[in-house]
Structure 1
Amino acid sequence: MSVAIDEVFSALAEPTRRKIIEALKAEPMAVGALVTQLEISQPTVSKHLKVLREANLVTMNAQGQRRIYSVQCEAVETLVAWCAEILPALEPVPEMVSVDLDLVQDPQDANALPAAAHQLGRSVGRGLEQVTGRAQEILERFPRFGRRR
């Protein structure tokens, strides 16, 4: 199944569709549950789910009369990979590539390794925030995509 980046952007350009994705990321849901949770009419939810399905962002499984929708990761993974390709190489943040080795030089110190791991975790978290922030900036610069017909 091929995922077209322009279709993914087009589908995610609509705030209601992003709300649907947010609701579905916690658990798969039926249309009725989405209508209730998002307080949107059933025809509107169905219309947006169709667009999300065509962009391969959600999948639908029939269970009798009910249609259960869930987030499909392939399109999101393709989008993330595309964003990663266009992001300029980030300069390594010194905190991300080094840990205070003084903390771990004494192997008898029971707190040394957890302290070093905590420092590394904070550094990785900051780096992730940087990448996420940069991706958000790029996405905000894109004009709203119209649906291809």
Structure 2
Amino acid sequence: MDETAGAIADPVRREILVMLRSGPMSAGEIAGRFAISRPAVSRHLRVLRESGLVRAELAGRRRLYTLDPGPFAELAGWLAQFARPSGWEHRLDALETEVHRTRRERRRPGGAADGGKESTA
């Protein structure tokens, strides 16, 4: 997980990962979208390959890079613990539910809005 987190720490590598979501790309296609040198892009691709986030496959004379979503699973699982609602959020959700229930009861005949008494008119 540390290697995955380290690999995505760089904004250029994160952008490469986003680009590869749409499908395989060659190193030249990837480099063409950046204002940095091709050797710099190659170094970023090497880091992504070594972390297991991308795979490189030879297609004739070109090397095509594809996203490998597997290593993201462990990192996503670890990050999920921070996305879970806190105790306060649960309490606020319960309060919201209670407010909606109370409003619903007040709209019904015999609800709290008319004192709980059925109309006899």
State the TM-score bracket (shorter-chain normalisation): 0.5 to 0.7
| Residue 49 of structure 1 pairs with residue 45 of structure 2 | yes
2:61 corresponds to: 65
2:9 corresponds to: 13
Report the count of equivalent residues. Answer: 94
| Residue 77 of structure 1 pairs with residue 73 of structure 2 | yes
Distance 1:20 1:48 in 2: 9
Per-residue CA deviations over 1:38-74 (Å, capped at 9, x if unaligned) read 2332111111001001111111111111000011101
Question: Could you say which structure has the larger radius of gyration?
Answer: 2
2:20 corresponds to: 24
Distance 2:50 2:30 in 1: 18
Match of 1:40 among 21, 36, 39: 36
Instruction: Report the residue type matching 2:55 in the other structure.
Output: T
Unpaired stretches in structure 1, ≥5 consecutive residues: 103-149
| Root mean square deviation, CA, Å | 2.4
SS at match of 1:34: helix
CA drift of 1:88 comes to: 6.7
CA drift of 1:23 comes to: 1.3
Distance 2:83 2:21 in 1: 29
Instruction: Report the residue type matching 1:53 in the other structure.
Output: R
